[in-house]
Amino acid sequence: MADGVKTAIGQDALAQDFVQFAVDCGVLRFGEFKTKAGRMSPYFFNAGLFDDGIKLGRLAEFYARRILSSGIEFDMIFGPAYKGIPLGVALAVELARRGRNVSFAYNRKEAKDHGEGGTLVGAPLKGRVLIVDDVMSAGTAARESIALIQAAGATPYAMAIALDRQEMATEQLADGTTRDVPHSAVQYVQRELGLQVCAVAELKDLLEFLARQGGAELGQHLPRVQAYRDRYGV
């Protein structure tokens, strides 16, 4: 089956394979987890657990296949500190293996005052830049990356992530509290920041995966994940 093609029953084969891979690696877990927004989520995605060469190489394959099939055009890759750095490196290597050699850069959290100095490392930022990260919670990392890229005179063009949670983002109020907003972080980045966003998998793909498990152990998590989607989904 060609990359990105849907199956006859409406499933995205690449996304289904990715969800299975994330479960097998222990990256996607089920239980009760508190999110940055203070919500109790029935699932948790921790890309930091793609923690060896085989896992990271396979992850890069999923990113590369999704990005290449999306038709998004870009001139280089930017990996925001910290999780975006190994993701961007692995993706650059995989794209080169597939015949698409592009340059790569990343940022430091703190500027160096010796050597080359500054916060940016790698190739000079130029042209259309693809930002690579794991998930998107509030769009904060995207805004920071956009500012860095624009300051260097390049164009923040698109963003690639592993999982789109497809849930309402939150915003900070003047009194320090937060409130839900009627769009996801991905929708915010698309509509307000003007970037294309490419996700290897989405929450709907996770729901389809769980539905296929039937009465198996993983399938038992479906009602809670669906209830969470019903409450916080966009």
**What's the length of the chain?**
234
- With CA atoms as reference, report the closest residue to 163 among 137, 141, 129: 137
Catalytic residues: 112, 114
CA-based nearest residue to 168, from 38, 42, 66, 46: 38
Beta bridge partners of 233: 167
| Among 164, 151, 156, CA closest to 195 | 156
Query: Which residues sit opposite 82 in a β-bridge?
Result: none
Sequential DSSP letters for 125-186:
P-SEEEEE-SB-SSSHHHHHHHHHHHHTT-EEEEEEEEEE--BEEEEE-TTS-EEEEEEEHH
